[in-house]
Amino acid sequence: MKTYRHELLFHLPTRRGFVNITSQVQETIDKSRVREGLCLVNAMHISASVFINDHEGGLFEDWEKWLEKLAPEKPHDQYRHNDTGEDNADAHLKRTIMGREVVVAITEGKLDFGPWEQIFYGEFDGMRRKRVLVKIIGE
């Protein structure tokens, strides 16, 4: 069995945002030369997320509005975590809701998705460098 590890780097210029990373993950699979196996993709920061959904513009707006209702950024003093001098408690909660990682089957060297599925990086406390791990195992 082969393994392959690669990190994707992100530095979003905004506090929050969503990036379709499907093509970057597929490129990593291509480099790994794994034809049959599994691909783990996970955010390596506790204020960012990796998840699977549809690439549709309305959804980006819906996610932002929904997450902001569930865990509003402000006022910052509503969160005990922010008592430490941080201002990103909402980002931790949003990450929990959207998830840490995805695992996708690799079949014939390609991500084996259902209809419309794409992999996204979700940033909830941006404006600094963050990493996403892509770990591939298989033959």
Residue ranges per domain, the chain?
2-138
pLDDT tens, position by position, 20-76: 999 999 999 999 999 999 999 999 999 999 999 999 999 999 999 999 999 999 999
Tokens of 69: 């209702």
Q: At what angle do helices 89-98 and 57-70 cross, to 10 degrees?
A: 130
Which has the closest alpha carbon to 41: 118, 109, 93? 118
**How far is the C-alpha of 100 from the C-alpha of 8, rounded, in Å?**
15
**How far is the C-alpha of 108 from the C-alpha of 68, rounded, in Å?**
40
pLDDT tens, position by position, 104-113: 999 999 999 9
pLDDT tens, position by position, 61-79: 999 999 999 999 999 999 9
| pTM metric for this prediction | 0.96
**How far is the C-alpha of 1 from the C-alpha of 138, rounded, in Å?**
5
3-state secondary structure of 11: coil
Q: Which CATH architecture has domain 2-138?
A: Sandwich (2.60)
